[in-house]
Protein backbone atom coordinates (compact mmCIF):
# COMPACT_ATOMS: atom_id res chain seq x y z
CA UNK A 1 0.00 0.00 0.00
CA UNK A 2 2.84 2.40 0.74
CA UNK A 3 4.19 2.01 -2.76
CA UNK A 4 0.81 3.00 -4.22
CA UNK A 5 0.71 6.18 -2.13
CA UNK A 6 4.24 7.09 -3.14
CA UNK A 7 3.41 6.61 -6.81
CA UNK A 8 0.23 8.67 -6.46
CA UNK A 9 2.07 11.45 -4.61
CA UNK A 10 4.79 11.52 -7.26
CA UNK A 11 2.18 11.75 -10.01
CA UNK A 12 0.46 14.69 -8.27
CA UNK A 13 3.74 16.52 -7.73
CA UNK A 14 4.83 15.93 -11.33
CA UNK A 15 1.45 17.06 -12.68
CA UNK A 16 1.55 20.23 -10.58
CA UNK A 17 5.10 20.99 -11.69
CA UNK A 18 4.12 20.54 -15.33
CA UNK A 19 1.12 22.85 -14.96
CA UNK A 20 3.17 25.55 -13.23
CA UNK A 21 5.96 25.25 -15.78
CA UNK A 22 3.51 25.65 -18.66
CA UNK A 23 1.92 28.70 -17.04
CA UNK A 24 5.34 30.31 -16.46
CA UNK A 25 6.35 29.62 -20.09
CA UNK A 26 3.16 31.20 -21.46
CA UNK A 27 3.54 34.23 -19.20
CA UNK A 28 7.19 34.71 -20.25
CA UNK A 29 6.29 34.36 -23.94
CA UNK A 30 3.60 37.02 -23.58
CA UNK A 31 6.04 39.31 -21.78
CA UNK A 32 8.68 38.83 -24.50
CA UNK A 33 6.12 39.52 -27.23
CA UNK A 34 5.07 42.75 -25.52
CA UNK A 35 8.68 43.97 -25.30
CA UNK A 36 9.62 43.13 -28.89
CA UNK A 37 9.39 46.24 -31.10
CA UNK A 38 7.42 46.03 -34.32
CA UNK A 39 9.69 45.38 -37.31
CA UNK A 40 7.79 47.20 -40.13
CA UNK A 41 8.49 50.63 -38.64
CA UNK A 42 10.85 51.55 -41.51
CA UNK A 43 8.16 51.41 -44.22
CA UNK A 44 5.92 54.22 -42.87
CA UNK A 45 8.97 56.45 -42.38
CA UNK A 46 9.61 56.51 -46.14
CA UNK A 47 6.08 57.62 -47.03
CA UNK A 48 6.03 60.89 -45.01
CA UNK A 49 9.40 61.78 -46.52
CA UNK A 50 7.94 61.43 -50.04
CA UNK A 51 4.91 63.45 -48.96
CA UNK A 52 7.20 66.17 -47.60
CA UNK A 53 9.07 66.39 -50.92
CA UNK A 54 5.81 66.61 -52.84
CA UNK A 55 4.53 69.32 -50.50
CA UNK A 56 7.73 71.36 -50.85
CA UNK A 57 7.53 71.03 -54.64
CA UNK A 58 3.92 72.26 -54.49
CA UNK A 59 4.99 75.21 -52.36
CA UNK A 60 7.83 75.94 -54.80
CA UNK A 61 5.32 76.08 -57.66
CA UNK A 62 3.17 78.52 -55.68
CA UNK A 63 6.25 80.65 -55.00
CA UNK A 64 7.16 80.68 -58.71
CA UNK A 65 3.64 81.84 -59.56
CA UNK A 66 4.05 84.68 -57.08
CA UNK A 67 1.43 83.37 -54.66
CA UNK A 68 3.98 82.93 -51.85
CA UNK A 69 6.76 85.24 -50.74
CA UNK A 70 10.27 83.96 -50.04
CA UNK A 71 9.64 84.29 -46.29
CA UNK A 72 6.35 82.35 -46.51
CA UNK A 73 7.99 79.61 -48.57
CA UNK A 74 10.91 79.33 -46.15
CA UNK A 75 8.60 79.22 -43.11
CA UNK A 76 6.34 76.57 -44.68
CA UNK A 77 9.34 74.46 -45.75
CA UNK A 78 10.82 74.64 -42.24
CA UNK A 79 7.49 73.54 -40.76
CA UNK A 80 7.27 70.55 -43.14
CA UNK A 81 10.85 69.51 -42.43
CA UNK A 82 10.39 70.00 -38.67
CA UNK A 83 13.15 72.56 -38.41
Backbone torsion region of residue 38, taken as left when φ is above 0, otherwise alpha when ψ lies between -120 and 50, otherwise beta: beta
pLDDT, position 21:
74
Is 12 or 58 the better-scoring residue by pLDDT?
58
pLDDT, position 70:
92
Q: What is the DSSP letter of 37?
A: P
pLDDT, position 57:
92
* Per-residue pLDDT tens digits for 1-56: 567 677 677 766 677 767 667 778 888 888 877 776 665 555 555 566 778 889 99
Q: How confident is the model at residue 66 (pLDDT cuts 50, 70, 90)?
A: very high
Amino acid sequence: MRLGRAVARTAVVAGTATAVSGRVSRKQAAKDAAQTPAAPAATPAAEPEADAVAEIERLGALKEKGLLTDAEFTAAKAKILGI
